[in-house]
Amino acid sequence: MTVLTEKFTITTKGFDDVIDITSRVQSIVSNSQEKNAIVNISTTSSTASILTLEYEPGLVVDLPKLLENIVPINKVYQHDNTWHDGNAYAHLRATLLGNNITLSVENGEIILNTWQKIVLIDFDNKQRTRQIVVSVMY
């Protein structure tokens, strides 16, 4: 198996910032010139996630609301008691959603449904610069 890896960075606003990274990832896949492969997209952060989402304004609002019901920001967590950085909720949300996804590539295109996009969600409690790692495997 051959693996081609590229990295790029994104500056986020934090606080559930949802950013469409589909075109950046597709560009890397296209530049690899591999027609049929798999691509893994990950972030090196423990307070951000990579996933697919129907990237439309309603879901961009609904997903953070759902996560607030599951892992509230203003709850006391042991991590916050240890580090006093107030971002335990961000670590927990990222743990629930994961920091990577693997998708199929066919004829040089990532296989996604019509409205499906690859997104980075930054849960942290401040602006961050996030590294995205894209590995094309064939």
pLDDT tens digit string along 51-99? Answer: 999 999 999 999 999 999 999 999 999 999 999 999 999 999 999 999 9
Q: What are 38-52's pLDDT values in tens digits?
A: 999 999 999 999 999
pTM for the model stands at 0.95
Q: Given the structure tokens 């759902």, which residue do they identify?
A: 66
What is the rounded distance in angstroms from the CA atom of residue 126 to the CA atom of residue 80? 15
Predicted local distance difference test score (pLDDT) of residue 48: 98
Contact by Cβ (8 Å): 60, 18: yes
What domains does the chain contain, in order, with CATH numbers?
16-137 (2.60.120.460)
CA pair distance 76, 46, nearest whole angstrom:
19
- List 57's β-bridge partners, or say none: none
Residue 74 pLDDT:
94
